[in-house]
Amino acid sequence: MKRIITPIIVSILILASASCSREKEVLKVFHAGSLSVPLKQMVSEFETMYPHVEVQLEGAGSLTCIRKITELNKPCDVLAVADYSLIDELMIPEYADHNVMFAGNELAIGFQKDSHWENDLTAENWYEVIMRDDVHYGRSDPDHDPSGYRTVITVNLQERRKRKEGLTNRFLEKDVKFIRPKGTELLPLLEVGVIDLVFHYRSVLVQHNLGFLPLSDSLNLSNPSLDDWYSGSCMEIDGTDKANKITKCGEAMVYGICKPKTSQSKYADEFLQFIMTRGREILEENGQPAIQPILTTKSTSKPYWFKSINKI
């Protein structure tokens, strides 16, 4: 009898577990790779609050995330990108109604902690060091990742600042084999010593316990009061596809988030609400500044309001 009953009980438990799993509502989030660490923490807490919801994170370069929606028609409930203006330019009005600015960041040059770079690399010599034949650096692809075009803009700002004509072109011609679609893919190359230096967001370098050289506000794209200076450096990148180019000019870094019109999850609003409240604390804990107050850019139909906005 035991031999008969035991398999039956096991089968019932397996079916019950499968049933519970099937009943979970999936919430799909496309996000910039630089948000991977804080978003994982947010999801862990959110799923504890909503145990019947399964949040699926899909990280990539911000432009790649957007093209999954605009070109590939992939379902997405929440989109979070490293450059808010991409939502304004490529998502609104066809694919989204709103765009909320929620976080900032700054560009830095990363390296292995406790390496000789901590002493050799300075705010005055970094661009000369990078041009050396025995030094290899990594950067992300400007056509896929905002950190890619922000890196080029920063180098161009240094060219203008130091009056080093041709610096940007020499920078673009060097180490092209170490360009990756998203910045976080460069970190393993840095870890094993394939590259010596990497251009990346300060928050990501902090989260991965890497050493880094902070750049001055005139170069790191962090200070809104310097937007007039930043905007003097621009570059052309792929928009919705290679045939549709857009021009990106320097400005202080601001991350944007929205709920695409095709969202099917009734929990998308709750997750956005969580990001704008508890999520902001998690961002700060991970070395990324949250914008105060929350700002909403242009909307074609209705403004997007958060229930706790006055309490943040």
For the chain, the distance separating the N- and C-terminal CA atoms, rounded to the nearest angstrom, is 61
Q: Is 197 left (phi over 0), alpha (psi -120 to 50) or beta?
A: beta
DSSP E strand stretches across the chain: 25-32, 53-60, 78-81, 100-103, 107-111, 137-140, 179-180, 197-201, 211-214, 234-241, 244-249, 255-258, 290-296
What does the pLDDT read at residue 13? 53
Q: CA–CA distance from 280 to each of 35, 98, 271 (Å)?
A: 12, 19, 12
> What residue type is assigned to position 24 of the chain?
K
Residues 6+ apart with CB under 8 A from 280: 102, 103, 290, 312
The domains located in the chain, with CATH, are: 24-104+254-311 (3.40.190.10), 107-237 (3.40.190.10)
Low-confidence ranges of the chain (pLDDT < 50): 1-2, 10, 12, 15, 18-21, 299-312
pLDDT at 309: 34
190 and 111 Cβ atoms separated by less than 8 Å: yes
132-181 tens-digit pLDDT: 999 999 999 999 999 999 999 999 999 999 999 999 999 999 999 999 99
Model-level pTM?
A: 0.88
In what helix (H) or strand (E) does residue 9 lie, and over which residues does it extend? helix 2-23
d(CA 190, CA 174): 17
What DSSP element (H or E) covers 13? helix 2-23
Length of the chain: 312
| Residue type at 149 in one-letter notation | Y
